[in-house]
Amino acid sequence: MFSFSQASAGRFAPSPTGPLHLGSLIAALGSYLLARQAGLRWLLRIDDLDRPRVVEGAAAEIMQLLETLGFEWDAEPIWQSCRDERYAEVLQHLREQGLVYPCSCSRKEILASAPHAGEEGPVYPGSCRNGPVGNRQQLAWRLRTHARPISFRDRFYAEQKQNLQSEIGDFVLFRADGFFAYQLATVVDDIDSGITQIVRGADLLGSTARQIYLYNCLGQPLPEYQHLPLLMGDDGEKISKRQGEVGVVHAGNGGEMMRLALQFLGQSPPAELLDAPASQQLLWALKHFDPGQIRPQNRLLSGLSDKR
Ligand code: GLU
């Protein structure tokens, strides 16, 4: 099912649902510096799985911008929208193992029957485990979970633990609207690309136990997890979800955004670099990066943009 992949690597996996925001630049920068510091390759993946949310042209713009800012990736980017066959193959494999089952519950039915809401939404109570009982025509496919807690150690957020059965429930790998789910696609892509270091925003900490469980079901070795603190807008929302221009990175403000991203990760470039182009600041950071300065605390945009 999985062949041994080449060298180990880190990655950045933007979703092209809009322009690059400072929050995503922080994830790109953190993953780049941590990969390079560990002597790893660094890959780019375009997470354009969720077709209805993809904005045309956004992926090309993000890639162009990353290049202008000085990032260098080590292989042709993977596009999730081109990988349906591969995801289908892995889903079929899980099906043969009896690990997935079709579910016909609508959201409304799940809400009505969920024992309680978990942090990630209503917990699926397993209604269709022994055969579809819901009223929806289109089927989703869910992975059977178990009640043994899944623990892992995150480099910045330390010990984490989640009981999938009571906190999430059997989760969707193939959506009723015909698209593969993020959890399946990301794990399959990370395995196939030889990703050994996963660096991303702490908003995905809550997905990690599900992904670890999938690695286990597929018999694959786990990557290391390193979640970065989140940049929040002044309203406490994740910055990339905010509307408007605040925090949007473009070629014209690249230097300033790189400075803010470095500052957010606790790095302090020398004064003469403060107004330098992004690519020069990035070169400095490759030499002087100190991950010990990354603190697992979310921060507000306004706390960053105050003048030096
Ligand atoms: N595409 C996801 C995002 O932009 C990141 C996926 C991941 O790093 O696992 O939030």
124 and 156 belong to one structural domain? yes
Q: Which atom of ligand 1 is nearest to the CA of 27?
A: 8
Which residues, 6 or more positions from 308, have their beta carbon under 8 angstroms from its beta carbon? 274
Q: What secondary structure, in 3-state letters, does 154-219 show? A: ECCCEEEEECHHHHCECEEEECCCCCECHHHHHHHHHHHCCEEEEEEEHHHHHHHHHHHHHHHHCC
- Better-scored residue on pLDDT, 112 or 188: 188
For residue 200, tell me if it sits in a domain.
no
Q: Report if residue 156 sits inside a domain.
A: yes
Q: Cα(122)–Cα(219) distance, rounded to whole angstroms?
A: 28
307 band by pLDDT with thresholds 50, 70 and 90: very low
135 CA → ligand 1 middle, Å:
32
Q: Which residue owns the Cα nearest ligand 1 atom 5? A: 13
| Portion of the chain with pLDDT greater than 70, in percent | 95
174: pLDDT confidence band, cut at 50, 70 and 90? very high
Same domain, 151 and 165: yes
Rounded to an integer, the average pLDDT of 124-148 is 94
How many angstroms separate the alpha carbon of residue 46 from the centre of ligand 1?
9
- The protein residue with its alpha carbon nearest to ligand 1, atom 6, reads 13
**CA-nearest residue, atom 7 of ligand 1:** 13
Q: Is 208 contained in some domain?
A: no
- Please check whether residue 192 lies inside any domain of the structure: no
Q: Select from 51, 37, 40 the least CA-distant residue to 75.
A: 40
Mean pLDDT, to the nearest integer, of 215-227? 97
Query: pTM (2 decimals)?
Result: 0.94
Q: Is residue 105 in a domain?
A: yes
User: Per the structure, how many domains does the chain have?
Assistant: 2
Q: Is residue 141 predicted with pLDDT exceeding 80? A: yes
* Mean pLDDT on 135-158: 96
73 and 94 together in one domain: no
Range of the domain at 40: 9-82+229-306
* Mean pLDDT computed over 3-29: 91
CA of 204 from ligand 1 middle (Å) equals 8
Looking at the structure, tell me whether residues 25 and 13 fall in a common domain.
yes
CATH code, domain with 28:
3.40.50.620
Please name which of 293, 279, 141, 283 lies closest in space to residue 214, comparing C-alpha atoms: 141
The residue whose CB lies within 8 Å of the most ligand 1 atoms, and thus the one to mutate among 11, 43, 200, is: 200
Instruction: Return mean pLDDT, the chain.
Output: 92
Q: Report yes or no on 244 lying in a domain.
A: yes
Pocket of ligand 1 (CB under 6 A): 13-15, 47, 186, 200, 204
Is residue 29 located within the same domain as residue 69? yes
Single-letter amino acid, residue 64: Q
CA 308 / ligand 1 centre spacing (Å): 31
The residue-averaged pLDDT of 160-176 equals 96
Non-local CB neighbours of 131 within 8 Å, separated by 6+ positions: none
Ligand 1 center to 152 CA (angstroms) = 19
Q: How many CA atoms lie within 13 A of 124 on its CB side?
A: 23
- 208 alpha carbon to ligand 1 midpoint, in Å? 11
Residues 178, 236, single domain; the answer is: no
| 89 and 180 belong to one structural domain | yes
Q: Give every strand in the sheet of 100-103, ordered side by side.
A: 100-103, 140-143, 171-174
Q: Looking at the domain assignment, is residue 3 inside a domain?
A: no
pLDDT tens digits, 179-215: 999 999 999 999 999 999 999 999 999 999 999 999 9
Same domain, 100 and 172: yes
C-alpha 200 to ligand 1 mean position (Å): 7
Residue whose CA lies nearest to ligand 1 atom number 9: 186
Give the ligand 1 atom nearest the CA of 200: 8
Residue that the structure tokens 């292989």 belong to: 75
